[in-house]
Copies of this chain bind each other. A is one copy, B any other.
Amino acid sequence: MTEATDRHWRVGELARMTGLTVRALHHYDEIGLLRPQARSFAGYRLYGERDLRRLYRIVALRRLGLPLEEIAAVLDGDEGGLSITVHRHLEAVEAELAQLARLRDRLIAVRDVLLLEGEPSIDQLTTTMEAMAMLERHYTPDQLKRLKARADALGGEGMQAAQDAWAEIYDALRAAMEAGTDPADPSLEPQRARARELIAAFTGGEADIAASLQRAWCTEDPEELSHGLVDRELATYAGRVFAA
């Protein structure tokens, strides 16, 4: 049994065969991921059949987005084996995907604001983004999707109408507060009823969104949350009114 000095390939041939660049193969050589079997007298890299097979495996694993270091580990049999690596990587990719989807949603929201406002100052953008950050702190992506759907259904004028309604309610409540009215007083029933209505419209009757809303008002500064409409004192008073 003589070991035939079998076929070999130069770096350019290998590149053409696999769709990689020559530079990539140099790189794999440098980091020890794929060392050619031999060198020609002139220093040319000469790859053998084993190298070729290894390279096809490398390319396959690269198409899965694995980093070169992990590819080396899988091929050299360190690491917990292929399935574990693929599993872990899949989870990482799904996390990245979720994050990128959130970024896209932010961009869409900003684009929509830009469409509405024409070309606004960057400071309007900053304000918008702070509002969005607050939303993201209190609602899950899924909840935000549902809120967005309801907001779209309502339309711009509908949103404005709700804003105005809240402003009216708080105007009335501030007057009552300054007059020293008991928060439980029956005369405030119209405001209570209207607020219940508006909240129901906002939450869509969904309990988890109602809970998140509640949490937001408990933990966040009311002045920030309402964009200056409601200060801390009024918020406390209103809380008592609505609870009555």
Instruction: List residues of chain A with CB under 8 Å of any chain B CB.
Output: 53, 56-57, 60-61, 63-65, 74-75, 81-83, 86-87, 89-90, 93-94, 96-97, 100-101, 103-104, 106-108, 110-111, 114-115, 119-120, 122-123, 125-126, 129-130, 133
Report chain B residues within 8 Å CB of A75.
122
Q: How many copies does the complex hold?
A: 2
> A30 → chain B, closest Cβ, in Å?
23
Set B63, B103, B130: member contacting A106, Cβ < 8 A = B63
A64 and B114 in contact, given A82-B119, A100-B100 (Cβ under 8 angstroms): no
Report chain B residues within 8 Å CB of A130.
60
- Chain B minimum-CB-distance residue to A133: B63
Set B94, B96, B114: member contacting A86, Cβ < 8 A = B114
Set B82, B103, B122: member contacting A122, Cβ < 8 A = B82
Report chain B residues within 8 Å CB of A56.
126
- Chain B minimum-CB-distance residue to A74: B122
Set B65, B101, B114, B123: member contacting A97, Cβ < 8 A = B101
Tell me if A65 and B111 are in contact (CB < 8 A).
no
Tell me if A97 and B94 are in contact (CB < 8 A).
no
Q: How far is the CA of A226 from the CA of B115 in the complex (A)?
A: 52
> A96 → chain B, closest Cβ, in Å?
6
Set B53, B100, B114: member contacting A93, Cβ < 8 A = B100
A125 and B87 in contact, given A103-B93, A104-B94 (Cβ under 8 angstroms): no
Most B CB atoms within 10 A — which of A61, A114, A122, A123?
A: A122
Some 24 contacts from A to B, beta carbons below 8 A apart, are: A56-B126, A57-B122, A60-B125, A60-B129, A61-B125, A63-B133, A64-B107, A64-B110, A65-B107, A74-B122, A75-B122, A81-B119, A82-B120, A83-B119, A86-B107, A86-B114, A87-B111, A90-B107, A90-B108, A90-B111, A93-B103, A93-B107, A96-B100, A97-B104
